[in-house]
Amino acid sequence: MPPLPSELRPAKIIGYSLAKWGDYPALIDGEQGEGIRGMAYLVKDEGQAGRLQAYETSAYRVAPGWIRWVKGEGEGGESFMYAGDAGALAEGRWDRVLWERQMQTQTETGGRLGG
């Protein structure tokens, strides 16, 4: 297996849990000390951050978190968190909060959904 780019590292983000949004995992608030294992990407500049935000759409918002690298050290960082009603998501209900957020974005962008 080829080595990972230095910007992409195995990590655990603390204070969150996962729920399913359709076929996709979505980060939601978790119990204190709870963590999600995965990969973390080190964003190098505002241009990269903007492109990631556009890709993630208005269904997600940037949230602060504590990232613990698998190698042991940790640092503050940010992740994309589900922007709607986490309770509705967990229960599989229609999410009015997310719908309103997406409709607001659609109005602001002249009819395009996204962020």
Residue 91 domain-assigned?
no
Residue 29 domain-assigned?
yes
Answering whether pTM is above 0.75, one says: no
Q: What is the CATH number of the domain that holds 37?
A: 3.10.490.10
- CA–CA dist 58, 100 (Å, integer): 10
Count of domains in the chain? 1
Residue 31 domain-assigned?
yes
Compute the average pLDDT of residues 104-115. 60
* Cβ contact 82:26 at 8 Å: yes
**What pLDDT, in 10s, does the model give residues 63-77?**
988 888 887 777 788
Task: Find the domain containing 18 and state its range.
Answer: 8-83
